[in-house]
Structure formats: structure tokens, C-alpha cells
Chain A
């Protein structure tokens, strides 16, 4: 059953003045490395068995009463060889990502099919390799200068991880680093879809990489947004987020007519225009992003089987997102936040949760909301507490960030 021939998934009429419908893009390959381990099997196993990747903060010499989703082994896996100038925690994490799930091999096959110059590269990051600059500041000389061996361009510069990804995968198509805080690696899907539609590339590598650093650990503490316990999204007693780090990548290409498989069906973007760090209290911008994603996918809210919430577990963020979800979907569509497994991976959250949505579609399950036991009675969306088996055809993933940036994605199974 293809999308267009299915009465259950028939396109709706399209509002004027809005971006045209998405042509479905097949997700030909995908991978993630996060606190649950390297590769999708580690994530799948942990999601199904309810095993969290969070641990008491043991990042560098950070002395904070909080839990983190740290990726094991990054300290001992330097980038070597021709690209050794890019060596830093963030690019090490990216490198682990290319090496997982045969992702590099899948890109090599796409390279042979499309040509190196016709595959776009769109990588999201929030803090890039800032940990490398933090270290360099701590090694400043008596004259205040940064150490001679510190290279800014290939490590901390916002473009570094996109440049490193492109060079590692042997690609030379249009390349961008997108940095919109915690929506960064959701927005890469929207830009890739736009560029393929505009004929600027025939296929795209999208992804996101963000690594732990003192800036975000101490910055979120300064905003009093970190919890001393593992984060509990939607819980009545939720009191803040747990930070994490992750990389994730996906290979997108146009779906052939009648082709079956996992696909990106819609993207929706908006701005809150409300506050730099607080979500709009009624979730107005978030609701707009979800509506646009559904419109572009040609789907009604009741055709969505699962929503992966942004669900950071701060009191106000969850409240605003709950209002937005209920406005658009009512209180009947199962939803959950997977931050209890990975922590909030900031600029990588979009791609990690996109991958979780693809796993849910492929394996027929809905992840629960780990650590949450007493859902907040004031929140009325249909929160899924425990992981359960469920046949899914189309799902939504939400990503929202500082500066009031919102992005929602619709993924589904074609055929």
C-alpha cells in the first residue's frame, strides 16, 4: 500500500502561502552513537529493555550534582591520519558515528550512484568543539595567549564538524553547518528537503553532533535548569534536565514511485518570538511547527501513531509542549520523551530522536518515558509511560531550542 493510494493517508488540501507538500525522502541509512552505546542495536536494546544511559556527572573535572549521558571511550579515540587537525571531542564523536551501522559504506554506495558533488551535507551542532577552546583557555600563558598547538578553525569553529563529516565521507556537494541550539539537527532535515527540491543536490547526508562541555554543564546550572536526579519528563516532580552527548547521521534520497521503506514525510519550522530561553507559555510556536509538518506531509493529526516529545523535563518547557501537542493532536495520540535514556543531547537531539522514531517505525514499538512515575496531572497529552509494542505508520518528532526555534518532523513507512 503506497502513501498516495492509501485512503487512510490521503493528502489534505493545502493552505495558500505555505511551503508546498514534501515529496517523501527515503531514509536509506541511519545511525546514532549516544550514552546507550554505538550503533542502532545498542539504542534499540536499551529502549526496549528500559535501560538508561545516564550516570552521575563524571565529565572531566566538572563538580556538579547532576546526571549526564556521556559516551564512553571518547577520551581514548583520537582522530588520526590525514584529518588529525580536526581532533577534538566533538569530531571524535562524529567519527564514531560514521563508523557505526555501515554508515560510511552506505554513503560510498550513494557516492557511486549520484557523484560526490551531488550529495549535500547538512550537519547540526550547538556548541561544536567548544570544549577544545575551554581547555586552551586553561592552558593560557602568563601573557594571556592561547597555546601554540590550539587550532580554532578545525575544532571549535561552527563549520568544523560539517567540514570534517564531508571530508571523512568523501563528499563535495553543498555543505552547511546549521546551529540553532537544540533544534539544529532537526532543521538539517528541513534544509536537505529544500535543497533536494531546489535541485541543489540529489541526495543528502544529514546529521547532528554535540558533545559534553563545561559551557553547557555550568551554563544550564546558571539558569537553574539541571536536575540533581536523572531527568523525569512530564513527571509531577520534574525539576530539570540531564545533559548528554551524541552523534547521529542519516542518508536521504528521493523515494522512487511505489518504493517501500522508511521515509521523511514532512518538516515544519517556526519561531516563538517570545523569549530567549523560555518557551512560549501556550506553546504557540511549537504548535505552528507541528501543524506545518503535518500539512507538508499531507496527514491529519489522527493519522499519527506516536509523538517523540522534545520533553526536556524542565517544568515550563514540558508544560508549554503539552499545551502545543494537545492543541494540535488532542489527548489521544501516544507520546513520550526519550531524554531519560540519553539525556538532552542539545544540537544532536533532533537526529537522535529522529533515529529513535525510525527504530519505532521499523520494529513496531513505542518507547516509554523512562524515570517518570507520577505524570503531572496538569499535563493532558497521552503520555506513554512504559515501552509497548505498536504497529506504526507515521510518527512525529519535536525539537525546540533557545532563541525560540522550533522544528517538527514527520517520518513514516512507505508501502
Chain B
């Protein structure tokens, strides 16, 4: 059994620009109105890094920054887990398009941003953090896999972990092959149980969820978002945390990352 406390959450998606804005929507006290996505400029990035990083990286980093700001801490000593189903598909599209041209002129910046851990690299530089970082993927169950990796690290290595999950819809023509509804980024700051007073929730995670499937959301707009982005598969867990009451959620549909998560305030 994996146990950890959630200290803070950063959330950015269309219609929900912050965790604070998301709480009334996720608890059913306000309607979900999908709007335009606004990506705040991450403060951690220097102007030159801001130019060299992509919208994907900025979105993921902005979510991470929001979680740290809420917890009143910095990322200097945090182990990190970056979860993304597809990574930065915009960069993949640019590279594959360049390869169709004579002499195949790949941009060096696109090339270094094409690695799945590009955001992790930008984050480590910006946060001046030498702690371990992992970047992973498990298709639609990527968020669950990321939560398991982060939770396991908290549990057995007794360190705080910043989990950032982010997916952004690919551009045409990849969008037809890997459809995604909207961009979504969420960051959770996890600590060993009882090491921080103002926790949002305590989680007990078991990697033995039922084959009955993932929890769904009753709001059709939120449910469409949940199934329309691998990182948004976190929404049932986020809704349980926002509700501030004890409960259990199932996330992850893949047998390799099918979790039962008990949430208590």
C-alpha cells in the first residue's frame, strides 16, 4: 500500500485556469464552462529559455509553479515525475515536416525539445534542482502510472515529489491519428504522510483496481474532457480531493496502471 499526503495542486485547462477556480466546478457548485486556454508565462523561465521552450513545456511548468506557490515552497530539492501520454506532438510534427524537405534541415531547438523529458530538463534548469526526475508514459493510463511512480517514491524513499501531468492536442495531421479534445496540465505536490500540516488530502494507493473500469464524472463537459486527454484522467481524483470528504476512486484503465485510490481529508 502506497501512502502519501497531497500538499497542493496546480491545475490549468480550458475553463479552469487554477485549482481555486476548479474546486466549485469539481464539487458541482458551479457549472463547467469550457473556455479558451490561457497559459500563464512561467516565472521560473528566463527570457531566453522562454523563447526556446514550447507551449507544451510552458503549460506543464505553469501548473508546477502553481502547485509550488500554493505550498509556499520552491522546487530546488524536489524529486519530480513528468507524466505525458504523447509528449510534445507539435515538435514531432515540425521535425517530421522538416524531414520531407531537401537536405532535411531539423532545427537543433526542435530536436532537443523532441525528447519526452524536455520539460523535465527545462524544469530542472529553471528550479536549479539536481534531484532525480523521471518522464514516463502509459497511454490513456499515463496519469495513473505517474501517480503510482510518484506515490511509490514518496512511500519508500521518504522524499517529497512533484508530479506534473500534461498533454496538449497534436496539430494536423497527427490530430487525426491521436485525437485529443483540449490541453490539460495538473501538478500535485506529494509528501510522506504527516510531514506537513496543511495537507489537502491523504491518499492510500493500491495498484489493484478492479477491471470494472475507471470512475466517470456526471458533468458531460468534464467527462468529455476526462476521456479527451490522458492527463485529464486525473479529474475523478481531483474531484474527490475537492470534495473534502472520504471516498475511493478508480483511475487508470490499463491493467499495468489500474489504481484504487482511497482519499481522506
Contacts and interface: CB of A to CB of B under 8 A. Distances in A.
Interface residues of A, number: 70
Interface in A258-312: 269-277, 284-285, 288
A159 interface: yes
Interface string B173-207: 11011100000000000000000000000000001
Nearest to B98: A218
A121 B172 CA distance: 33
Nearest to A284: B130
B112 interface: yes
A222 B111 contact: yes
Contacts, number: 211
A12 to B, nearest CB: 18
Interface residues of B, number: 66
B127 interface: yes
A268 B261 CA distance: 29
Given A126-B115, A175-B254, A270 B176 contact: no
Nearest to B170: A152
Nearest to A194: B152
A159 to B, nearest CB: 4
A276 B54 CA distance: 13
Contacts of A220: 111
B37 interface: no
Interface string B243-265: 00000000000111100000000
B133 interface: yes
A187 to B, nearest CB: 6
Given A180-B134, A214-B104, A137 B117 contact: no
Nearest to A402: B115
B131 interface: yes
B163 interface: no
Contacts of B172: 144
B108 A198 contact: no
B8 interface: no
17 contacts: A152-B174, A157-B137, A157-B139, A159-B139, A175-B257, A176-B137, A179-B135, A195-B152, A199-B1, A200-B148, A215-B111, A218-B99, A222-B107, A273-B124, A403-B121, A404-B121, A405-B120
